[in-house]
Structure 1
Amino acid sequence: MKIATIKEMIAQIKAGTGIQIIKGNMTNEPPPLPYGVYNITSPYIKGRGRGALVDYANDGVSYQKRIEQYKFTISFSFYAGDIETTMENAFKVHQWFLFMGQEFIRNKNLAVVEVGNIQDRTTFLVEHYEYKHGFDVHFRATDEQIRELSETIEIINLGGI
């Protein structure tokens, strides 16, 4: 999981749309309305297979690399004092993922698999409504792991001719 990349992406969204987005499920006091919230709802969705293994040598040392593709999901919700602003802010960020943010996402070795539909997530709290709209974004990422191989056999003589 590339948490630093996700934080950079949130900063890019704010720079591109002007909408403040904070991390969800925190005990901190929320900022003044309007604002957005993001949650990493599925940090690892396994891809097919077990990944690809590649053996290679560098400066006389043998290594093995495992390369795997996986998916993850981030959920966005936008809060405001009225329902029109929540819809507008959700739409701006939705469009960022579909068009304006494509180059940034590509440069971070991520791929947007799907940008979900914008949904009304308004809730009724005791005596008033908490207006919010949101959507989910599904990403594909690549993970690489490298380990040094302790000992390898390069030539085996089985006898014979």
Structure 2
Amino acid sequence: MLPYKAIRLTIARGLKVAAGVPTIPLNDGGDMPAGSFLTYTFSDFGESDDGRPIITQEDDKVIRSKAVTFTISILSYADSVDDSVENAMKAQDWFKVTGAEQLRDTLDVVVVLVGEVQNRDINIGEEWERRQGFDVDFRATDTAITDLSGWIETAIITKE
């Protein structure tokens, strides 16, 4: 299993420090912060890089490892477009250097691609929600550990 909570917390805390604004999950149901803030949401979690897992055994455990990819979308909200773009660019820079190193070194998660900052305004009823955003693609190793069942104690070998 991917360490989802650790990945999410590392990203949220890192972006809060890098951009200097609150960073919250998108559509979490809580109150929106006043002023500028960032949101994040994971999508395409756990897509396979390829179709072949690596299966190994250690003692009485079977370890299945597979390279997977996932994407996170970052949105920057602010009263002015300038502030929104600047906060998005600060977040983008965090993923390019500090965040990439931190995720790689502590969680074995690799930043594959940091997308460009784009206008992601949306119309909600009669109001416009002004925001800038970008996507980040990651690669990690998804590991599942299960008990080994069905030990072969003896095998009858016949010559036929």
TMscore range, shorter length? 0.7 to 0.9
State the shift of 1:110 in Å.
Answer: 0.2
| Residue 4 in structure 1 maps to residue 5 in structure 2 | yes
Q: Distance in 2 between matches of 1:17 and 1:80?
A: 12
Match for residue 144 of structure 1? 143
Of stretches 45-54 and 130-139 in structure 1, the one that deviates more from structure 2 is: 45-54
Q: Distance in 2 between matches of 1:88 and 1:53?
A: 45
Query: Which whole-Å deviations, capped at 9, do the CAs of 1:68-127 have from their partners, x for residues lacking one?
Result: 111111101101111111110000000100012222111211001111111011234566
TM-score by length of 1: 0.86
State the shift of 1:151 in Å.
Answer: 3.0
* Structure 2, gaps ≥5 residues long: none
| Residue 55 in structure 1 maps to residue 57 in structure 2 | yes
Match for residue 78 of structure 2? 80
Q: Give the 3 Å change call, closer, same or farther, for CA 129–82 of structure 1 in structure 2.
A: farther
Paired residue secondary structure (1:101):
helix
TM-score by length of 2: 0.86
Note the 1:66-77 alignment, pairs <5 A: 66-77=64-75
Query: Which whole-Å deviations, capped at 9, do the CAs of 1:41-68 have from their partners, x for residues lacking one?
Result: 22221221131111232xxxx3211111
Give me the identity figure in percent: 29
Paired residue secondary structure (2:97):
helix
* Structure 1, gaps ≥5 residues long: none
**Cα RMSD between the aligned structures?**
2.0
Q: Give the 3 Å change call, closer, same or farther, for CA 15–88 of structure 1 in structure 2.
A: same
The one-letter code matched in structure 1 to 2:133 is G
**Contact in 1 for aligned 2:37/2:76 (Cα 8 Å):** yes
Note the 1:19-34 alignment, pairs <5 A: 19-34=21-36
State the shift of 1:138 in Å.
Answer: 0.7
Match for residue 118 of structure 1? 117
The one-letter code matched in structure 1 to 2:19 is T
Q: Distance in 1 between matches of 2:126 and 2:149?
A: 66
**Contact in 1 for aligned 2:14/2:94 (Cα 8 Å):** no
Q: Distance in 1 between matches of 2:62 and 2:28?
A: 40
Kindly name which structure, 1 or 2, has the bigger radius of gyration based on alpha carbons.
1
The one-letter code matched in structure 2 to 1:3 is Y
Q: Distance in 1 between matches of 2:74 and 2:18?
A: 16
Of stretches 35-44 and 13-22 in structure 1, the one that deviates more from structure 2 is: 13-22
